Copies of this chain bind each other. A is one copy, B any other.
């Protein structure tokens, strides 16, 4: 059942406890198990979500997230940089993705009079129908694999842990190279 040691592969040899020279010490057995479980869960859950969306409605999880943000907006239109802020995607990823979604007719572009560089991304009717179609099944899968297996308290804790990790990611994105604490 137990997988191999992952992020601290048994490189220095199994029985020498020497910590890696440059960075942190290796992971101990508990940490290894936890990390592998998380990694595996994360990858497979994402794959399952993508597969369902793809089969059910031809959308990817990424499409879905873009469309959600658009539908959550009164005018159903956003500047790309607003979407980028909301999604925390790399700029070029967003740009590529919007190009593809536009090609498929899920969104459209409008000129931005206030800023000649920019544009508005507008939800099309096709886009709205796509996410309307996709949503029930998607929520179903999220429930089935994620929430149905977790108690209310566990969900709350998971949110706290996620937020804490996000904070660390935010911090260190800004911080140049040095240590954290």
User: A135 and B20: CB pair below 8 A?
Assistant: yes
Q: Is A69 an interface residue (CB 8 A)?
A: yes
User: A161 and B164: CB pair below 8 A?
Assistant: no
User: A4 and B68: CB pair below 8 A?
Assistant: yes
What class of interface size applies to chain A in its complex with B?
35 or more
A20 cross-chain contacts in B, Cβ below 8 A: 135-136, 139-140
Question: How many copies make up the complex?
Answer: 2
User: B34 and A144: CB pair below 8 A?
Assistant: no
A145–B71 CA distance with the chains assembled, in angstroms: 32
User: B45 and A169: CB pair below 8 A?
Assistant: yes
Contact partner, A72, options B5, B68, B163, Cβ 8 Å: B5
A154 cross-chain contacts in B, Cβ below 8 A: 157, 161
Contact partner, A7, options B6, B41, B46, B138, Cβ 8 Å: B138
Q: Scan residues 43-81 of chain A and give those whose CB is less than 8 A from a CB of chain B.
A: 43-46, 48, 64-65, 67-69, 71-72
